[in-house]
Amino acid sequence: MGYGGRISSQKKRHVLFAVLGFFFAGLVPAAAQKPLAIYVLDFDTNISGENRAVAARLTTSIETAFSQLHSDFKVLERRRLKEIIHQYKMERDLSLLSRGDRPSPEFIRHFSQADGVLRGELNEDHLGGVVLTLSLTRLDSEKLWQSQKTHTLYEWLNGELRTKDAMELASSAAASINVPLKATPHIAEDAVRGTSLAEQGHCQEAMPFLQNAAAVDSKNTEVFYQMGRCQNQAGDYEAAVDSLRSAIETNPRRPDLFVERAISFSALKDFQTALRDLDQALKIDSGNLIAIELRGDVFMERRLFAEAVNAYYEVYRQQATRSRCAKLAAAYLKNGARDASALLERICGSLP
């Protein structure tokens, strides 16, 4: 029997949590003194049409934000529960559980590494707002934390705002679950301090901490990512490529890593490889506007103006800013569409 019977998917999920809770109630160790291991499930949404993709982007932003709080959370994977059940062929186990029977040892092994799940729902309300409800639940169904945020759909489409909100929500969740910090080793402190400084734009100060942390923890994606960013900012593109390669090796599912490395390759005039990285970023997150815009920049460098117009057109259409307007106008002009260029130039200055 497949996982897709007669009850609604939401009910199914509740049933599953309840059964998992019942089953694991005695097995899950207390999360104190160690990060909370969580699954981030793809967010549900009632948004229809092409804007529906905002839920996936928001999931990525939230996942990234929670991943960055290493001492509080360990993000296991972001999947639809249905997919996990399907992939590991657990339909039978689910059925057994539903009947109150014992599932297979594989099933127990698979879920026993998790302490809880992070779920989100992004729903349009009747007032034109879009409400994100984010909740962190233990596998025994105990709600650890819940928060809501409301924006307009177009604010949710804004990548920067999304990232900022995600960071705030992750911090709020971390504070709320009150996971006691482990006796933090010196190196872990370096990682936290280095990434924090880098995120605030203090790259010069951040680099020594990041390098210390990277030297002993070759699996810390965020440390290598921030190193790469800082090296890009300093114009040390070859070193940035190396750092970002390490970051990608530890987590090949983060589009921002590929985008950052594309910046390095582009600066090194290796446009082909830059485009390959951008394609990869877009394969992971097809709506990544930064990747699309950067493709436009690379096309401009390669004098492929029609392709540049297409890229800039797309990002401008999704999120109009002054700089994107100016880039699109320049690409139009280079591509021979003077009127279009002049038309846009007329309004670029009025955009934020």
Residues of this chain that bind other proteins (CB under 8 A): 49-50, 127-128, 154, 309-310, 313-314, 316-317, 320, 325, 332, 335-337, 339-344, 346-347, 350-351
State which residue, 175 or 306, has the beta carbon closest to other proteins.
306
To other proteins, the closest distance from the beta carbon of 295 in angstroms equals 14
State which residue, 40 or 298, has the beta carbon closest to other proteins.
298
To other proteins, the closest distance from the beta carbon of 127 in angstroms equals 5
| Burial of 116 per CB tally in 10 Å (0-12, 13-18, 19+) | buried
State which residue, 71 or 335, has the beta carbon closest to other proteins.
335
Backbone angles phi, psi at 130, to 5 degrees: -125, 120
Could you give the CA distance from residue 53 to residue 250 in angstroms, rounded to a whole number? 26
To other proteins, the closest distance from the beta carbon of 289 in angstroms equals 14
To other proteins, the closest distance from the beta carbon of 346 in angstroms equals 5
To other proteins, the closest distance from the beta carbon of 333 in angstroms equals 9
State which residue, 15 or 351, has the beta carbon closest to other proteins.
351
| Burial of 269 per CB tally in 10 Å (0-12, 13-18, 19+) | exposed
Could you give the CA distance from residue 9 to residue 22 in angstroms, rounded to a whole number? 20
State which residue, 260 or 293, has the beta carbon closest to other proteins.
293
40 and 166 Cβ atoms separated by less than 8 Å: no
State which residue, 122 or 248, has the beta carbon closest to other proteins.
122
Radius of gyration of the chain (CA): 22
State which residue, 19 or 348, has the beta carbon closest to other proteins.
348
- Dihedral sign for Cα atoms in the order 42, 47, 48, 54: negative
To other proteins, the closest distance from the beta carbon of 129 in angstroms equals 10
CA distances from 35 to 73, 115, 169, 224, 259 (A): 5, 9, 17, 20, 28
State the pairing for strand pair 116-124/130-138.
Answer: antiparallel
41-44 CB contacts, 8 Å cutoff, 24+ apart: 41/78, 41/79, 41/80, 41/81, 41/117, 41/118, 41/119, 41/120, 42/78, 42/79, 42/80, 43/119, 43/120, 43/121, 43/122, 43/132, 44/10, 44/119, 44/120, 44/121, 44/122
To other proteins, the closest distance from the beta carbon of 343 in angstroms equals 5
State which residue, 175 or 343, has the beta carbon closest to other proteins.
343
To other proteins, the closest distance from the beta carbon of 303 in angstroms equals 17
Could you give the CA distance from residue 156 to residue 208 in angstroms, rounded to a whole number? 35
